[in-house]
Amino acid sequence: MKLAFVVNRVETEGPTFTTNVLAHRLHARGHEVFYFGVGQLDYVRDGRVGGLGHFAPVGDYADPEAYHEALHGNAENARPVYTDELDMIYLRNDPGEDAADRGWATNAGLMFGQLATQQGTIVVNDPYGLSHALNKMYLQQFPESVRPRTIITRRIEDIRRFAEEEGSDIILKPLLGSGGRNVFVVREDDHPNLKQIVEVIAQQGYVIAQEFMPAAAEGDIRLFLMNGKPLMVDGKYAAVHRLSASDDIRNNLHAGGSAQKAEITPAMLRMIELIRPKLIADGMFLVGLDIAGDRLLEINLESPGGLRGAGILEDVDFTVPVVESLENKVLCMRNYGNRIPNKTVATL
C-alpha cells in the first residue's frame, strides 16, 4: 500500500517519534511511505488532494534511526503525491504545536483529510471525528464518572470560585496545547497569585480548571488504544507509567519526566469500556489515554507519542499490530470501496 503521514514539519520529526517508528515498520513490510508537512498540502484543479511527499529511498534499514537518516537525507527528491495513488493518509500533526505561530495550520490537516475521504482514500484518525475533538474539551463529552471535575472559561471570577469550592489544589492548563506546556498546579496558598497564572494561560485562549487528582502525584499512565481496545502484544499492554521530575506535576517525558512499566488495573479496564463506544463512533483508530488512578486526565488523538518507549519497557514491538491493522483497513477498502464509510473503516 501507499501511505502518507501528515506531520507538523517534516524537518522537525525525530528518529524516536511514534510516527517514525511506524513509518520504519511500514517500509520494512514493503509499503511506500511518504511524509507531508501540514504546510505542504495541496488541493489541485481536478479535485485530488495530496502534497509534497518526502520519502526514504528503497532499501533495508536496520532501525528507525537509520530510516530517519535516509528520509531526511533524501529531501531533494521529495515529489508531489496525490489521492489517486494513495491508499491511506494518517493524520499525525499536533494542532497545539502550531497554535502560537502558525494558526492557519491547526485545521489544515483536517480540512485536506476530509476532502481526501471523498476521493476514496482512507484517513485515520477520521477527520470528521477529529474536527469535534481538536482540543481538551473533547474529554467533557465522556461520562462524568471517568474524568475529573472541570470548568472551561476565561473568567478569573469563575476560576477563583471553582478553586474555593474545591477547597484544595487545582490544575490550570490551556484548552489548546500539548506537551505539558503552561500546566500549573495551584495550591491553596497560591490563590493570591491565581490572576497572574490565569492571564499567562489565557494568552493562548480558554483555560481549563480541573480538580487535582492525588493519584497524579504518583505519575500518570499513557495507555494506547487501537480500534477502541487496549493495544497488546503477547499479553503486554502498550503503556508507560510516566513519573514527573521532582515536584514538577507534568509527567510528559520531554518535560523532564521518567518512565517505567505500567500496571493496568481492572478499574482502568472498566473505564475504557465506558469510553470505547464514543471513540469507535468518532472513528478514532490509535489514541493515547493519560490515566491517573481510575480517572482519565486527557485523550491524545492527533499524535500520541510513547509507542516505542512502551515497547522497549515491555520488550515487544507494538508497531506490528498497528501496521497489520492499517493493512486490513486497506484490504477492506479495496473490496468494499465507499460502501463502508471512512469513519467505520478507521476503527475496524
Q: What is the dihedral of CA 180, 182, 187, 189, to 10 degrees?
A: 160
> What is residue 56's DSSP assignment?
P
231 and 294 in a single domain? The answer is yes
- CA 24 from centre of chain: 19
CATH number at residue 23: 3.40.50.20
**Counting Cβ atoms within 10 Å, is residue 66 exposed (0-12), middle (13-18) or buried (19+)?**
middle
Would you say residue 190 has pLDDT above 90? no
30 and 63 in a single domain? The answer is yes
261 and 166 in a single domain? The answer is no
> What is residue 54's DSSP assignment?
B
22 and 104 in a single domain? The answer is yes
Residue 328 lies in a domain: no
Residue 197 to residue 182: CA distance in whole angstroms? 9
Structural domains in the chain (count): 3
> What is residue 303's DSSP assignment?
-
Pairing state of beta strands 32-37 and 2-7? parallel
96 and 167 in a single domain? The answer is no
| Nearest by Cα to 275 from 150, 142, 148 | 142
pLDDT in tens, 52-107: 999 999 999 999 999 999 999 999 999 999 999 999 999 999 988 887 789 888 89
Are 157 and 146 contacting, i.e. CB atoms less than 8 angstroms apart? no
Looking up cell 468518532 gives 282
Residue 154 lies in a domain: yes
Bridge partner list, 6? 36, 91
pLDDT at 252: 54
Would you say residue 248 has pLDDT above 60? no
Residue 256 lies in a domain: yes
In the chain, the largest separation of any two C-alpha atoms, in whole Å, equals: 63
111 and 160 in a single domain? The answer is no
pTM (predicted TM-score): 0.89
- What does pLDDT average to over the chain? 91
Residue 87 lies in a domain: yes
Supply the range of the domain harboring residue 197. Answer: 149-212
Residue 334 lies in a domain: no
Mean pLDDT of the region 247-262: 64
196 and 223 in a single domain? The answer is no
191 and 279 in a single domain? The answer is no
CA triple 142-314-297, angle to 5 deg = 20
Residue 132 to residue 102: CA distance in whole angstroms? 20
164 and 200 in a single domain? The answer is yes
Nine cell digits for residue 235? 499479553
251 and 153 in a single domain? The answer is no
| The last residue of a domain, from among 212, 239, 254 | 212
163 and 83 in a single domain? The answer is no
Residue 82 lies in a domain: yes
Q: How many helices (H) and strands (E) does the chain have?
A: 11, 19
Q: Which range scores top for mean pLDDT: 161-175, 240-254, 330-344? A: 330-344
